[in-house]
Amino acid sequence: MFSLVSLKLLSIIFFLLNVFLFCRRGSNLSLLLDVNTLGVETVCSVSTPKEVWLQLLHTSSRPLTHTLLQEAAIDTNTLNVEYQIPPNFVNAADLDVPGHMMKDRYKTILPNPESRVILRNPDDEPGPDRYINANYIRGYKGAPRAYIATQGPMVHTVGDFWDMVWQERSSIIVMVTRLKENNEVRRHKCCFPTRRIGRFLIKVKDSREKDGFTVTDMEIQLHSECRHVRHYWFTSWPDHHIPQCIAPYLRLVEEVETYISAPASSPGPIIIHCSAGIGRTGCFIASTIGCQQLRETGQADVLETVCQLRLDRWVFSSLFPLQSVFNMQLHV
């Protein structure tokens, strides 16, 4: 059973997933394709002058009421016209970080230099700051550093991942990928069971299965200081597709929103990752922002939200020729 508010949120999430599919197909602004670089992620170059598409990303807006969201969600022609959004692709030459390629899961999926997370050296040790493929993402009403979008941790970057969790005082991690997809490890198993990772001792305090996702409460300890971290793991979202059932996804979005507003929650950014940290990660953040807009104003500006995300990180960027979207069935 869903409340009226839940049904409205379902509409916006359904619409966002349609946008997600279209953006993975690409737009007519993405004219030059490089299909040989990655086995799973197709990359495009943009021939439009940078000043033009940056202006578009900064100014595009189209607020939609609940009714208009429902109409737009099934109008693929509108999506094809309205969401031809420049990808804000990051070239390797723009990222002046020696040796960063060793820590990038995909060599063409790089963090935007202007918003990337920089890991400070622990305990004021001398030496240069450290690199992680992650970006700060603005939230509802442009709230700074509301989220961090990052790639899935690898064996040799999982220590950096937990350094970031500690440095940013994050208390929520949302994982929207399976451990292994298409015979490729997409995320190193970094928190189960209790173990020492880098400087930290990670203890699993509790884990419980819910419909479509798993919630795990952990304690991260450095020296004598302990902090609580809650880990959400959504397993029903395969790469290059969308969830077959929208209800568990809605419950995940609502539960994360409820938990972050609790008094005991840390003020640090919510950390979200999938495999590359651009597709499913971007859709989760956009869904959360859109739901907040709809609750408070009765409208959701999905176009503005996606543009804001692309200014912060190159999200919704892969091209994949999906032919249809899933059918949503609700029993009220």
Residue 116 is predicted with a pLDDT of 97
Residue 54 is predicted with a pLDDT of 84
CA distance 100 to 267: 29
Q: At 325, which amino acid appears?
A: V
Collect contacts of 132-136 with beta carbons under 8 A, ≥24 apart: 132/103, 132/157, 132/160, 132/161, 132/163, 132/164, 133/100, 133/103, 133/104, 133/105, 133/109, 133/157, 133/277, 134/164, 134/277, 135/111, 135/312, 135/313, 136/269, 136/312
Residue 17 is predicted with a pLDDT of 54
Residue 2 is predicted with a pLDDT of 41
Q: Out of 274, 283, 291, 307, which one is annotated catalytic?
A: 274
Residue 151 is predicted with a pLDDT of 95
CA distance 307 to 85: 7
Report phi then psi at 141, rounded to 5: 60, 25
Q: Which residues of the chain are under the pLDDT cut of 50?
A: 1-2, 4, 7, 21, 25-46, 181, 185-186, 317-332
Tell me, yes or no, if 307 is annotated catalytic: no
Residue 242 is predicted with a pLDDT of 64
Residue 48 is predicted with a pLDDT of 59
Residue 30 is predicted with a pLDDT of 36
Residue 189 is predicted with a pLDDT of 53
Sketch out the chain's domains with CATH numbers: 8-23+54-179+237-312 (3.90.190.10)
- pTM value is 0.81
Three-state SS for 280? helix
Residue 266 is predicted with a pLDDT of 75
Report phi then psi at 147, rounded to 5: -135, 165
Residue 36 is predicted with a pLDDT of 38
Name the E strands within 68-198. 116-119, 130-137, 147-150, 172-175, 180-181, 184-185, 195-197
Residue 268 is predicted with a pLDDT of 95
Q: 291-300, pLDDT tens digit by residue?
A: 888 889 988 8
HSE of 34, CA atoms in CB hemisphere, 13 A:
11
Q: Residues 10, 66: contact at Cβ < 8 Å?
A: no
